[in-house]
Structure 1
Amino acid sequence: MTANAMTQPATATLPADWRDFFALTKPRVMSLVIFTGLCGLLAAPGSINPVIGFTAILCIALGAGGAATLNQWFEADIDAGMKRTAQRPIPAGRLQRTDARDFGILLSVTSVGIMGLAVHWLAAGILALSIVYYAVIYTIWLKPRTPQNIVIGGGAGAFPPLIGWIAVTGEITLMPVLLFAIIFMWTPPHFWALALFVQTDYAKVGIPMMPVVKGERSTRRQILIYAILLAPVAVAPWLIGGTAAVYGIGALILSLAFIALSIPVAMRDAGEDDIMKPEKKLFAFSILYLFALFALLVIDRVMAQYGLI
């Protein structure tokens, strides 16, 4: 990556307020993190004190916010060169880079410490791993070096349901590992759908996202391949007897819809339509897919608990 490929972030000229610090935590991403973490907690067998459960979800949120903040601290110069991210607090000059770094470290350390003291240290250890995975392994190592960054880095966002489950049970079993695997397999087609219509931003700052390095045709094929591979992983909790048919059939229908929406994306030629409606439709559905899938997991658990299935 050359120095000319990036624009240096502006020096903060105005005092930051709480909204700038909140923006560093990537609230939209955090909403998905909180939701999947909560679903993992609610779907786990056994029970947890509501206060402890709330604390666990709060720690997951704080940890995710800390990792996101450290991501923006490290990538401030890259964000400044991308239209999609140029108005984030650091590149826009509303926040000092060192303040973001210190805030990210504070959130990360606090989240792990509280999780360990209030819940248990296995959950805290996995939370710490998730922060390091996103802030270091993905952000610093993978993202600027390989087009497989999203494939390997997908684990960063896959930890919340695993942590939520462990907060209740205190152990790692096959079910929470499958929940991790679902998000891991979901991340590439989800993110590559976005990357297809913002690839010029990544190319401008020298980030080797799949469409930039391997081209649109390869990326489109891989989106369909991962959508197909995601289906059996999503249905697997039902197949192993971890859920009932409410989840299993719902997961199958959602996954078939995911594949159906991936087909027109895979079949299109590069540059065929600058509007990229199929890609945007797939990206939007992929978010709905994950919310619906994990909601079904909780619904299935509640219905089974009350003898409705």
Structure 2
Amino acid sequence: MTLLNDPARPSTSAPEPAEGPGAPAGAPRARTLGAYVRAYVALCKPRVIELLLITTIPVMFLAAGGVPPLWTAAATLVFGTMSAASANAINCYIDRDIDREMRRTRRRPLALEQVTPRGAITFGVVLGAGSTVGFWLAVNALSALLSLSAILFYVFVYSLVLKRRTAQNVVWGGIAGCMPVLIGWAAITGTLDWPPLVLFGVVFFWTPPHTWTLAMRYREDYALAKVPMLPVVATERRVALESVLYTWATVLTSLALWPVAGTGPVYPAVAGVLGAVILFEAHRLLARTASSGGVHLRPMRFFHLSNVYLALLFTAVAVDPLLPWSG
């Protein structure tokens, strides 16, 4: 259930030499209990999970028309976190060979041999099974099935099929990262409806430009690892142009929530302002590809702004139902 390729954090394990081919010289290897715990937590990609929760929680407010039931919300967050951690850990197992090649990922636990491949895959499968059973028993069957389908899609469709074979990998692979909005809605209502499908579309269109601008920054890494991200196989101008088109689709889809969900005036106002800002930055990136020849392109400006855009947009989704004049 992951949305993006997160910038890896430096390891904080005890500084003992790593062993095995591909490990960076002087890389720390887990030896103490605390180091093992940190290594397994890193397998879960916590910063990716944070972004997924940003989309899950507000949808529960929207589905409940206010504050959702505390127990249901807490169970959804716990088992949703386990589900996302499962997909991320299994992804680390699958990608352990290319993670050793990329500067951005070479300090992940498997690349540093802080965790064994068997330990990582076992950890991921146990988390996935636990999250599915937890959703089924503590929330409802639909949320359990959606959670399991997100894990399976991310592992088998994105990680094993799409990622290393097509430049459209994050377009269709990003479907797994859209699932939390459906899970959040299903957890409260036990059904699906048009509002979560619209928000599913928002995350779906948001994911490619968000990920492509990160890949522009780390283009050499992906090329070295032979991962055909769009910035590896296409010109910067084409990447920027497609990012503009997907950003327009994101903004227009976000505005469609207003009539579909019957929100109050706060959400469309926030969506309109945020949309104008993110579109301005997307068009500026495109203009720079034409005028600077790639010099001072600064794609990470769009990447970081897109994080802020999604967080604030979904905050508006959560706040709007709490206001007295909300529809």
The one of 145, 155, 168 equivalent to 1:125 is: 145
> For 1:11-54, what per-residue CA distance to the aligned partner results, in whole angstroms no more than 9, with x for missing partners?
99643510100001101010011121111112213675312220
AA in 1 matched with 2:297: M
Where do residues 18-29 of structure 1 align in structure 2 (5 Å cutoff)? Answer: 18-29=37-48
Residue 293 of structure 2: which of 264, 272, 280 is its match?
272
Aligned to 1:73: 93
**Aligned residue number for residue 91 of structure 1:** 111
* Residue of structure 2 equivalent to 1:251: 271
Pairing of 1:1-309 with structure 2 (within 5 A): 9-10=22-23, 14-15=30-31, 17-45=36-64, 48-269=68-289, 272-277=293-298, 279-303=299-323, 306-307=324-325
Equivalents in 2 of 1:79, 1:187: separation in Å?
A: 21
Structure 1 stretches of 5 or more lacking a match? Answer: 1-6
1:216 positional shift? 1.7
CA RMSD of aligned residues (A): 2.0
Alignment correspondent of 1:4: none
For residues 272 and 179 of structure 1, the distance between their equivalents in structure 2, rounded to whole angstroms, comes to 36
Paired residues of 2:57 and 2:318 also in contact (CA < 8 A): no
Q: Kindly indicate whether the alpha-carbon contact (under 8 Å) linking 2:165 and 2:228 is maintained by their aligned counterparts in 1.
A: yes
Q: Tell me: CA distance 1:8–1:154, structure 2 relative to 1, closer, same or farther (3 Å).
A: farther
Paired residue secondary structure (1:60): helix
Query: Aligned partners of 1:137 and 1:14: how far apart in 2?
Result: 31
Aligned AA for 1:39? Answer: P
Is contact 2:194–2:260 with CA below 8 Å preserved after alignment?
no
Deviations 1:169-222 (A, max 9, x none): 010100111111110010011111111111110000100000111222211110
Give the secondary-structure state (helix, strand or coil) at the position aligned to 1:44.
Answer: helix
What CA distance in whole angstroms lies between the structure 1 residues aligned with 2:257 and 2:192?
15
Report if aligned partners of 1:190, 1:286 keep a CA contact under 8 Å in 2: yes
Post-superposition shift, 1:264? 1.7
Q: 1:100 to 1:274 in 2, by over 3 A?
A: farther
Structure 2: runs of 5 or more not aligned: 1-19
CA distance in structure 2 between the partners assigned to 1:157 and 1:225 by the alignment? 20
SS of match in other structure, 2:239 = helix
TM-score after normalising by structure 1: 0.92
3-state SS of 2:220 partner: helix
Work out the number of aligned pairs and report it: 300
Alignment partners' CA distance in 2, 1:252 and 1:49: 30
Cα deviation, 1:208-247, whole Å, max 9, x if unaligned, reads: 0001112222111101111111111011110324312210
Does structure 2 conserve the Cα–Cα contact (< 8 Å) formed by 1:12 and 1:95?
A: no
Identity of matched residues, %: 32
Q: Which amino acid letter does the alignment assign opposite residue 113 of structure 1? A: V
Say if 2:320 and 2:326, in contact at 8 Å, map to a contact too: no
Rounded to whole Å, the distance in 2 between the matches of 1:123 and 1:112 is 9
In 1, Cα distance between the equivalents of 2:287 and 2:21? 38
The whole-number CA distance in structure 2 between the counterparts of 1:218 and 1:26 is 30
Q: Does the residue aligned with 1:89 lie in a helix, a strand or coil?
A: coil
CA contact (8 A) 1:238 1:247 kept: yes
Cα distance in structure 1, aligned partners of 2:314 and 2:170: 21
Instruction: Supply the AA of the counterpart residue of 2:51.
Output: L
* Cα distance in 1 for residues equivalent to 2:128 and 2:101: 27
The amino acid that maps onto 2:247 is A
CA distance in structure 2 between the partners assigned to 1:12 and 1:136 by the alignment: 31
| Partner amino acid, structure 1, of 2:293 | E
Amino acid of the structure 2 residue aligned with 1:29: V
**More displaced stretch, 261-270 vs 180-189:** 261-270
